Structure 1
Amino acid sequence: MRASRLLSTLLLLQTRGRLTAQQIADELEVSVRTVYRDIEALSASGVPVYADRGPTGGFALLDGYRTSLTGLTTDEAAALFLNGSGATAGDLGLGPTLEAARLKLLAALPAEQRSMAGRIQERVHVDAPGWFRDPEAPPHLDAVAGALWEQRRIWMRYRKWDRTLVERTVDPLGLVLKGTAWYLVARGRSRVNGYRISRVEELTVLDETFERPGDFDLRRYWLEWSDRLQQTLYSGGFATVRLSPRAASLWWMLGPVAERARRESGAPDPELDGWTRVVLPIETFEHARIDLGRFGPDVEVLDPPDLRALMRAQVEETLRRYLAP
């Protein structure tokens, strides 16, 4: 246990720089006295750790000191930080590299921890894509990834969601795997935007390089961009619908926005034979017609009147087709 804590202390100092005893204690959930003892043990073992006194002081490693515990190469260490499944690494051409990194990491672990890691691999498997959805395999993903690593501009012909075709010259800043779809986050002339790589019809990696903005945070940008995209998609207003118990149990099929609306609508109404009233954000009437039509008689649109009339016309047309000889 103490060996693990000493290693954690060393890695904290190596990755974060100067830290006070209280900061280390808070991070490792131990007492300040324990931190002092561990620092002494590291120093006695030959680790060049020193202390600065005063209000801005703390413990730090001698400049330039780095510990190499696993023998990982730069590419192998980068592959570990993909933080996803082997399939994700494979999509970016890093599958063998990730496996080599895992083997080196296992070899560096003490016997007890190596045994635990082996048991986890034997007993836990992560299969990220949802049921009945094949992962996208966009043909330009390799080229985009290469441009991203080398910080080279790309030119692309891109088909937008409304099917219009545009040309863009952009600086690739990041890749995001959302469910089974890959997205490129890139900076154009005026702003940063997200592009679904499967919609890239032509792509050329240019010889021009670019400077990556030092303050760009991919995770923060993606959260903000996806939130804006969701608000744009659901700009068609709201529909009030009634769900039968059967429809309520299958409502997750419409995605997280619909499911959240159902949860926020409260419990089923006993006076309505267990049916639930839901106020649902919609993209357009046409999207709502297709989505709600999947539930047949288990969903009734109450409002707006135009959408209710559209659903009625769909039912009448369906009935005519089935009554025809």
Structure 2
Amino acid sequence: MRASRLLSVVLLLQDRGRLTAQQLADELGVSVRTVYRDIEALGEAGVPVYAEMGAGGGYQLVDGYRTRLTGLTPQEAGSIFLAGVPSAAAELGLGAVLTTAELKLRAALPARLNRSVGEIKDRFHLDPAGWFRETETNPYLSDLARAVWERRRARMMYRRWRAPREVTREIEPLGIVLKAGVWYFVAKVSSSIRTYRVSTILSLEVSEETFERPADFDLAATWSEWATDFEQRLHKDSAVVRLSPVALDRIPYLMSRAMNRGVFTGLGPPDPDGWTTVTLPIESVKHAHPELLRLGGDVEVLSPPELRGLMRESARAMVALYDPA
């Protein structure tokens, strides 16, 4: 552990030039006293690092010194795929590993390419979280990631929507997916492959027992198939509605992907009033009611009658509230 940290100190100084003890401590997640000891150990090992005192001072390497000890460990190499989403790497417990991997890669690059990497990071940022939603608490995500990485069996208790609500399963975790800021995982349960939301886990015990991953398992393909099937199962009903031009402009920002796709797939010509009649996939009347209310007076439900009745009742309640007379 300390050897890895000492290499990180060298790579940080090599990549960024002069750094104070506090800056190094912040980067490495250790105390300033630990940094002092690490700098002393590097000096004893023959690494030409020296301190410059006074304002603007700090530690730096002798000009021209570059280390070539940049070999990536398997875990570091794997973490490179999360380089664009450092917050996700941190949640998975790979934050420090990713930082070290990036430093090793940058240390191995020629100066010109190294500058290009820094410029790209300064100009482009990926934020995978969805809008208008509190971040979920996933206390078992790091342990789950370890089980996936090390191919370890686990025992979990999770909460589901139907009775019995709390269920225990023996699982073989195969992969983790971050979808619009929400974490899911794919696991083998008995002889079937299933997908769960990480936030539903109530307890997780990772075993020392390992398992063999299915040779033909493809995480991306499995997730894509499950997500498509999930949307189709979720939106099993439909509603016929009239939409104003304003509603058509707002739907991509207010509706689910399946409803949005349904609108523009079956879009026909507008009527004389400029409104368009479409058939929307909906989860149920109960779920569609608040979704369509978001469009206010720019949507008219034609069917089913139950949904039209709910919209009418809501409209009457709104009028009574805002215009009692």
* TM-score bin, normalised by smaller chain: 0.7 to 0.9
**Normalised TM-score (structure 2):** 0.72
For the Cα contact (< 8 Å) 2:157–2:203, is it kept in 1?
Answer: yes
Counterpart in 1 of 2:223?
A: 222
- CA distance, structure 2, for counterparts of residue 315 and residue 177 of structure 1: 39
Query: Is the counterpart of residue 277 in structure 1 residue 277 in structure 2?
Result: yes
**Cα-to-partner distance string for 1:138-172 (whole Å, 9 max, x where unaligned):** 11112211222222222222122447322211111
Counterpart in 2 of 1:196?
A: 197
Shift of 1:177: 0.6
Shift of 1:303: 1.6
Shift of 1:281: 0.2
2:256 maps to amino acid: G
For the Cα contact (< 8 Å) 2:244–2:298, is it kept in 1?
Answer: yes
For the Cα contact (< 8 Å) 1:128–1:179, is it kept in 2?
Answer: yes
- CA distance, structure 2, for counterparts of residue 179 and residue 218 of structure 1: 17
- CA distance, structure 2, for counterparts of residue 147 and residue 266 of structure 1: 47
Counterpart in 2 of 1:305?
A: 305
* Long gaps (5+) in structure 2: 1-67
Moved more, 133-142 or 219-228: 133-142
- CA distance, structure 2, for counterparts of residue 319 and residue 79 of structure 1: 56
- CA distance, structure 1, for counterparts of residue 83 and residue 134 of structure 2: 21
For the Cα contact (< 8 Å) 1:265–1:277, is it kept in 2?
Answer: no
Distance 1:207 1:111, change over 3 A: closer
- CA distance, structure 1, for counterparts of residue 323 and residue 206 of structure 2: 57
**Cα-to-partner distance string for 1:212-251 (whole Å, 9 max, x where unaligned):** 212211111111111111111011x211111222222211
**Normalised TM-score (structure 1):** 0.72
* Long gaps (5+) in structure 1: 1-67
**Cα-to-partner distance string for 1:122-143 (whole Å, 9 max, x where unaligned):** 2112222233334323111122
Q: Secondary structure at the match of 2:258?
A: helix
Counterpart in 2 of 1:145?
A: 145
Q: What's the C-alpha RMSD, in Å, of the aligned pairs?
A: 2.3
- CA distance, structure 1, for counterparts of residue 268 and residue 247 of structure 2: 14
Moved more, 184-193 or 114-123: 114-123
For the Cα contact (< 8 Å) 1:137–1:198, is it kept in 2?
Answer: yes
> Would you say how many aligned residue pairs link Structure 1 and Structure 2?
256
Counterpart in 1 of 2:104?
A: 104
- CA distance, structure 1, for counterparts of residue 81 and residue 125 of structure 2: 18
Matches within 5 A, 1:202-241: 202-235=203-236, 237-241=237-241
Counterpart in 1 of 2:125?
A: 125
Percent of pairs with identical residues? 45
Matches within 5 A, 1:1-325: 70-82=70-82, 84-162=84-162, 164-235=165-236, 237-252=237-252, 253-266=254-267, 269=270, 271-272=272-273, 274-321=274-321
